[in-house]
Amino acid sequence: MRARLPDFRLGNVLATSFTGTLSERHGDAVERIPTPQRLVDWLAVNGLAVDSCTTAQLDLARELRESIHAAASAAAIQDALPASAVQVINDCSAQGRAAAILTPEGTRRWRLSSASCVEDALSVIAADAISIIAGERDGKLALCASSTCQAAFFDTSQSRTRKWCDMNTCGNRQKKARFNANQRKNRGSGG
């Protein structure tokens, strides 16, 4: 069963979907994994189902998330990677024992060493972050053009000119703001 949780942004890139669980980082930040259960929910919809999660595991997850955010943001602007963030990502990657499994239908599935092993799930996310930051994947890291967001996202568009982390949220908001500004200008043009 795949639960659909409308307030999770499900992108095609695991690592940046994960960093997106803290949105509007430069505005009124919204924490989308405020409790261990919410992390369990997020992992389930991202193909990394675990039975349970402790507060310590949630803390570790958030530490990894912020480290990926820091490293991916630096990579997006070709800045030096913060050493502490790299360390956390590498530690998380090394800690897990998740195995990639090929299903009979020819799709990839992750098998965790045990159903309570959030660390395994985090290692998959960390490895995903490593692959995009290291430039192993077809796409380019960029920062969202929304001033209240500035999230690092992975642009897989052909032209590599995507401006927003998500068309449905930041992209839409920007379009609306532009539209409203134009309306005001048009109204104001009479005097």
Is the Cβ–Cβ distance between 5 and 43 less than 8 Å? no
Question: Which residue in the set 118, 151, 155, 162 belongs to the binding site for Zn ion (CB under 5 A)?
Answer: 151
Contact window for Zn ion (CB under 5 A) among 24-32, 58-66, 75-83, 150-158:
150-158
Q: What count of residues does the chain have?
A: 191
Q: Minimum Å distance from CB 95 to Zn ion?
A: 30
Nearer to Zn ion, 19 or 146 (CB): 146
CA distances from 101 to 39, 42, 68 (A): 23, 20, 25
Binding mask 115-144 for Zn ion (x = CB under 5 A): -----------------------------x
Assess 165 for contact with Zn ion (CB under 5 A): yes
Largest CA distance in the chain: 69
CA distance linking residue 97 with residue 126, whole number of Å: 12
Residues in the site for Zn ion, rule: CB under 5 A? 144, 146, 149, 151, 165, 170
